Amino acid sequence: MTKQVKRAAAVALAAAMALSQNVITFAEEAADKITITFAFDEGVGTPTEEAIEAFNASQDEIFVQSYHLPQDANNLHDDFVNKLISEDTSIDVMALDVVYIAEFASAGWIEALDGLYTEEELGAYLDGTVEGAKFDGTLYAAPWFTNASALFYRTDVLEELGVTEVPTTFQGWKDLYDQLPEDSGIDYAFCFQGSQSEAMVCNWVEFLASFGASVLNEEGAPACNSEEAIAATQMMADLIGTYAPEGTTTYAETEAQQVFQEGKALTCRTWSGTWNTFNNPEESDVSGKVGMTVLPVNAEGDTAHSCLGGLDLAINTYISDEQKEAAKTFVKWLSSEEEEKAFCLSSSQPPTVKAVYSDADVLEAIPFYTDFYSIIESGKGRPASPDYSILSDAIQRNVHAALTGESSVEDALNALQEEAEALQ
């Protein structure tokens, strides 16, 4: 036997022994306990594993094992759908993108959780995250962590102009931009996401909200071509090539953020977590000159509503009653104030429990939460539709056609209205 073969055999034996030891350790930990499987994506892998480890250490009756998936919302969606269509019971708890709660609930794939929290307990969570976890008035998921967009702006520019109050309207920001000298280096008042993508959908529903419009009305019927929706979409289109870059119709988050990082835009609409990037001198030319505020509205006094993202905790309806009870115990533990704080500190993901935003430890680690809370508190989810994937595709195609000028705004939204009505 050659040295190489001997070495390979030794390495293989060591690996086998390590694997065997891990299996034995796992078996010992899980012995005589109800074992449940929690499925989530790699984007939150390390902090989630830490949370699972803490839960397991606190338990005598339940053991949680993890099931990792790639960090891709579509991949997660498809994996879960394939399992649940076949009534698969290999996963018990899912970290599910908030936009899919309605789809999974309407299909009967996830367990109703109305009895898991009292109204007082639900009151501890951000209103938008609770509403996003419901379908037809019933709670089907537990809010876990969230995210919201915000308007980042150049604090140094406002100081140079002697502006003490941050504008709240689109017109206010345009007026500020118009005051800038030609050699300011700032070419645009706004940068945002207008590519044919989910990023654009998030932007569009925010423009609608600034005009008091929405994709679906209070009864859940499509309202895509209301007068307010047409006016909001027209403004969004008119900004492109005037107060926002011509290339906006090709921008997702990265491209829009780059414009702002290079100092070429007065403001940038993007997700809250970008705060660290914008204020990192190694990545941003405007580090230390960035503030955060609410999204602009159409008229003074209107309320801005940032689009909410994030993941909720849902329970597979096909598992046994014993597994469901164990899963509920884990879900309630993971969504508690104490654990939301721990997860926030380890992952920097915005919590869904309101009190965490005023926690001294959290504010020391993430000081911009002082300003961010008022933004995320009024956040709203995207339309809660059982056919969200199809609706989103229709929005992307039709609204993008309006933004590029391929279609008039009115024609594009009339076409979208027809497609949305066909889903009812």
Report all structural domains of the chain as residue ranges with CATH numbers, in order of start: 33-147+309-372 (3.40.190.10), 148-307+382-422 (3.40.190.10)
Query: What was the pLDDT predicted at 42?
Result: 84
Q: What is the CA radius of gyration of the chain?
A: 24
pLDDT attached to residue 28: 53
Say what the pLDDT of residue 74 is.
Answer: 73
pLDDT value, residue 8: 38
Tell me, what's the pLDDT at 15? Answer: 37
**What pLDDT sits at residue 30?**
61
What's the predicted TM-score (pTM) here? Answer: 0.84
Choose among 407, 222, 421: nearest CA to 399. 407
pLDDT tens string, the chain, 424 residues long: the values are: 443 334 334 433 443 443 344 434 444 556 688 999 999 988 888 999 999 999 999 999 999 999 998 877 777 888 999 999 999 999 999 999 999 999 999 999 999 998 999 999 999 999 999 999 999 999 999 999 999 999 999 999 999 999 999 999 999 999 999 999 999 999 999 999 999 999 999 999 999 999 999 999 988 899 999 999 999 999 999 999 999 999 999 999 999 999 999 999 999 999 988 988 999 999 999 999 999 999 999 999 898 999 999 999 999 999 999 999 999 999 999 999 999 999 999 998 999 999 999 999 999 999 989 889 989 998 988 998 999 999 999 999 999 999 999 999 999 999 999 999 999 8
The pLDDT of residue 31: 63
